[in-house]
Structure 1
Amino acid sequence: MTFCYLLFAMSENSPNRLLILLLATLLLVSTSCEKVVNLNLKTSPTQLVIEGNLVDDNRPCQVSLSTSANYTDTNTFAPVTGATVTLADNAGSTETLREATPGQYTGATIKGVPGRSYTLRVETGGNSYVAVSTLPSPVVPFEKLSTQVSTVGNNIQAVVDYTDPVGPGNSYLFRQYRNGRLNNAIFVQNDQFTDGKHITQTLRSFSNSSTDPNGVNKLAAGDSLQVEMQNIDPNVYEYFRTLNQILTVGGAPSTTPANPKSNFSGGALGYFSAHSRRVLRIKVQ
């Protein structure tokens, strides 16, 4: 490791002070210097991460349990085994999910029904974590999927059409698949300014050479495009909205990273979502 030191002996009133400073600046610029900077990356206690989904597709509830990791850890998240996971609805049904594989829990009897509320409880390590989610009703139809070319960059973008029901509180999540591969971008929308209106919404992906260096998410003619439209409740919308803020590139440098707003009590990370799922597929022209 090379360190650079530059010593000057001059008085405050020296007539050559400006010249000496100029020479010093030129010398520093032309000299290769390295400096060791030790970053004090704080660690945080391990937290439970819960991802729970119950869809109106006649399939049982699926729950994934894992633990969080620090920035300096490898990108692996240990599964949480041996937990007790129960699901109940407001129609009086209750079931205990079985652990199908380490950290993956599956229901059997309770299915997603529009208008019903569901309570997911996770007990592990002597602690309990509870979330409530309501499957929205009525389910909003996914009317049309098309593409358009952006005015800047000539990128092909997916365009979705649907009609928001009259009455506030409707929220939507869209997930985009290119040739069967899920785009990591998150597209969320609510009806705060569009209540009761027909919506034509472009799914603008902010992928670039740094976030998508191989261009795997960039649509091209001939691609198979699939978009999934979910009707989600407001608390789940808030989770994905805040998650999207964290993931979106180009945020303010002063913004302090934080965890997305979970709908679980007890301090767990993640979400539980009871939602509808509607899918449209087209070939990109």
Structure 2
Amino acid sequence: MRQSVYTPLTKLRALAAGALLLASTGCEKIVNLDLQTSTAQLVIEGNLVDDNRPCQVTLNRSANYTATNSFEAVRGATITLADNAGGLETLRETATPGQYLGATLRGVPGRIYTLRVETGGAAYVATSRLPAPVVPFNKLSTQLSAFGTDNIQAVVDYTDPAGKGNSYLFRQYRNGKLNDAIFVQNDEFTDGNRISQALRTRSSSSTDPNELDKLVRGDSLRVEMQNIDPGVYEYFRTLTLILTAGGAPSTTPANPKSNFSGGALGYFSAHSRRVLTIKVP
């Protein structure tokens, strides 16, 4: 099952009553949605990668539809990270308000991690398993889209291992700039297959008026492949449903399905990261 989401994974800041903030490097967008939540909610963005770097967490409060495009950083929270190998640490708040950083625990494939956030007298808990084995990113290439000879698409190749439950997330960079599009896929219909999949950006004059994400010959193209767990996949799958259905509450959830307990928005993802870079021919 393939889905595409127009928001960078590490830049999601808030989903509130009628408004979803979609941000990328140097760019912010507001997409109006008919969502049910009207009060500010805690938005948690947590990532732990198998790149020997510590866990990173960002805390913000969602903004109401009628509010300005600003989101309050949450300071003074107590955040702990534990793994199923006996590890435990408390993250420290950095000099940047709302951003917290671990120190000792690292992302190890196969381990299960639990992130606990305490703030405002409430606790929010999420668990994420860093998938194992990590699926290799075999090849990155390009092709011309069938919808236009000047529309160049990235193509990713990998082999899904036997056994359902594998999920993947792809991010695309053009000349070092993170594109708005995010691509999520699982192996529900492709279990154990060799996959060659085009990343269809679906750019248009409305979503990319200056064609900043449009690939042209000579560009540097970098694609990041993440192995994610089913809970993180579900978060972005339900976010996709909201975006593609206009947020109609009769057919989609009011907010993306977070893997946090306690009513917080956002996600915690322990995942792998593999990157390939080519020059667009």
TM-score of the two chains, using structure 1 as the length reference: 0.82
**In 2, distance between residues paired with 1:211 and 1:255?**
24
Structure possessing the higher radius of gyration over alpha carbons? 1
Moved more, 151-160 or 251-260: 251-260
In the alignment, structure 1 residue 197 sits paired with structure 2 residue 193: yes
Q: Structure 2 matches for 1:87-166, cutoff 5 A? A: 87-100=81-94, 101-154=96-149, 155-166=151-162
Percent identity, aligned pairs only, is 78
Give the secondary structure class of the aligned counterpart of 2:241: helix
Give the alignment partner of residue 167 of structure 2, picking from 158, 161, 171: 171
Q: Deviations over 1:173-212 (max 9, x none)?
A: 0000111111111101100011111000110112211111
Q: Deviations for 1:75-119, whole angstroms, at most 9, x for unmatched residues?
A: 111100000000000000100000012100000000000000000
Q: State the secondary structure of the residue aligned to 1:185.
A: strand
1:79 matched to 2:73? The reply is yes
Does structure 1 retain, via aligned residues, the 8 Å contact 2:36–2:254? no
Larger deviation: 177-186 or 59-68?
Answer: 177-186
Structure with greater strand share of residues: 2
TM-aligned CA deviation for residue 74 of structure 1: 1.2
Deviation at 1:244, TM superposition (A): 2.4
Distance in 2 of aligned mates of 1:280 and 1:41: 37
Question: Matches of 1:57 and 1:268 in 2, distance apart?
Answer: 27
Corresponding position of 1:260: 256
Cα deviation digits, residues 148-191 of structure 1 (max 9, x gap): 00011221000000000011100000000111111111101100
Q: Decide which moves more: 127-136 or 198-207.
A: 198-207
1:237 corresponds to: 233
Task: Describe the SS at the equivalent of 2:148.
Answer: coil
Instruction: Tell me the SS of whatever aligns to 2:237.
Output: helix
| Preserved CA contact (<8 Å) 1:186 1:244 | no
Contact 2:35 2:255 survives alignment (8 Å) = no
The amino acid across from 2:194 in the alignment is H
Structural RMSD (CA): 2.0
Residue of structure 1 in register with 2:50 after alignment:
56
Deviations, residues 242-280 of structure 1 (Å, cap 9, x unaligned)? 222333488989866731110000000000000000000
Number of residue pairs matched?
246
User: 1:139 Cα deviation (Å)?
Assistant: 0.1
Question: What secondary structure, in the 3-state scheme, does the structure 2 residue paired with 1:186 have?
Answer: strand
Alpha-carbon distance in structure 2 between the residues aligned to 1:265 and 1:41: 20
How many Å separate the matches in 2 of 1:158 and 1:195? Answer: 22
Contact (CA 8 Å) 1:186, 1:240: kept in 2 or not? no
**Match for residue 269 of structure 1 among 244, 265, 274:** 265
Hey, what's the Cα distance between the residues in 2 that align with 1:42 and 1:202? 35
Counterparts of 1:85 and 1:149, CA distance in 2 = 46
Give the letter aligned to residue 118 of structure 2: E
The higher-RCO structure (CA 8 Å, 6+ apart) is: 2
Where has structure 1 moved over 2 Å in runs of 4 or more? Answer: 40-43, 244-258
Q: Assess if the C-alpha contact under 8 Å between 1:56 and 1:113 holds in 2.
A: yes
State the distance in 1 between where 2:138 and 2:37 align: 47
5+ unaligned residues in a row in structure 2: which ranges? 1-33
Q: Secondary structure at the match of 1:242?
A: helix
Change in CA separation of 1:196 and 1:90 when aligned onto 2, cut-off 3 Å: same
